[in-house]
Amino acid sequence: MKLDIQKIKSTYFQDIKKCWKEADIDFPNFLKEVPYAKKNQNEQYIQSISDKFHEEFNKFSRLTVRKKDSKQKISLMVREVLREETIIGIHQSMDEQTLDAYQEELIEFLRHARTFSPNLSFEGIGQAIRNYIVYIIFNELNQGKPGFNIACFGYSMLYPFTDNYIDSELHTPQEKQNYNQLIRNKLEGKEVSPSSYHQCKTCELLDKIEISYPRDLDCTIYTLLLAMLDAQEVSLNQCQELNLDEILDISLYKGGISVLIDRFFVQKEITVRDLLFYLEFGLFLQLADDLQDIKEDSEKGSKTLFTADLNCKSAEQLVNKMLHFLYQMTNSYPSANEPFKQFILSNCYQLIYSSIVGSKEFFSQEYLGKLECFFPVTFPFLEEMYHNRLDKIDIHSQERYLKLLDELLIQP
């Protein structure tokens, strides 16, 4: 179907907003509890695997010979984890050959990312690869063939490049406006003259999309990217006084178009039902981000559904609504790949639970205790994992791990 942004906003957004507003605010009864004994088993498994990888990484960084053997051992360890762990359980919904192919695809993504931007931090790499994983999920849901997608790589890398620039206090409002205008001109097919290294790299990422989608054949992707740029500019209004309906509009616009672009890169026709599902999925992912960032957004004065009312009861009702909305959205979407769809649903629940841990001070202990029953590990263990993430360590240690990553990514 032909994607019409104005129709999407005037018709489909209204249908989705109606579904969101009608979603129940009571605690759901369809979640599956994880017994404490299973949580304990999961934590022991995660700690054991973490220790093994840490030990092997330390060996690898000290070795001057036999690095090839150590690299192969690390690769086999990753492969083994993907095929045996039961916490995420991706091997239960994907055959071994497909799993191998997607693993190699993500490795190829990392190779391109490190070559394209050697100075990009772990946080930036993580931001980009998370978006690419969303594309992979959609590709598998639609039973597409695995294979590195250079256009989606360019789109995914735009996230750390554009968001970090716009969010930075080092750049003036005029510089940010000029940067956005450069992107707009580039997307409209106009001649541009980048005036900085950052602008040049941004244009290079857009070129990677244009190589795969020549303008004279299909302008759909540029229409979507221009809508995404507009959504990002509209989201700047979140620091102003807005009512709940206006906040919901921004969340749906920004999240929905972002995810619709990921779906566009899947080489499958988009139906009306697809359109609704992926726009809904985008709203869900945007709300999951907002859920994790309640403190940061409230301190900046950014209006989201979660910062509009910081009362515990309001936040808890919003999370309940998210769970009901997600359940209804996923189960009403027909898919030829039903096992993988249920895998997505299960892990989206986990995304909500883990996002709450980052904003736990905005929820009652009673509510946190109820949700913890459904997470595969205890919340204190999850917090410890969060604090030990690579993007949380100091710059010197990050540089050491990035050098290690580069050595591991070298093709034999």
DSSP-assigned states of every residue in 291-314: HHTHHHHHHHT---TTTS---HHH
Q: Place 385 in a pLDDT band, splitting at 50, 70 and 90.
A: confident
pLDDT at 3: 87
- Domain locations in the chain as residue ranges: 1-31+246-376
Question: Given pLDDT bands bounded at 50, 70 and 90, which one contains residue 188?
Answer: very high
pLDDT of residue 391: 61
224-268 pLDDT, tens per residue?
A: 999 999 998 888 888 788 999 999 999 999 999 999 999 999 989
pLDDT value of position 392: 66
pLDDT, one tens digit per residue, over 161-172 is 988 788 777 888
Global pTM reads: 0.93
pLDDT digits (tens, 9 = 90+) for 331-383: 999 988 899 999 999 999 999 999 998 899 999 999 999 999 999 999 999 98
Which long-range contacts does 69-77 make (Cβ < 8 Å, 24+ apart)?
A: 71/407, 71/408, 74/408, 77/49, 77/52, 77/53
pLDDT at 69: 79
Q: How many residues does the chain have?
A: 412
Q: Is the pLDDT of residue 22 over 90?
A: yes
Residue 405 in this model has a pLDDT that exceeds 90: no
Q: Where are the beta strands (DSSP E) in 37-81?
A: none
Query: Mean pLDDT for the chain?
Result: 91
**C-alpha angle with apex 11: 7 to 12, nearest 5 degrees?**
95
What is the pLDDT confidence band of residue 393, given thresholds at 50, 70 and 90? low
- Cα-based distances in Å from 351 to 31, 50, 58, 174, 388: 13, 21, 31, 36, 18
pLDDT score, position 399: 81
Single-letter code of the amino acid located at 211: I
**Whether residue 316 has pLDDT greater than 90:** yes
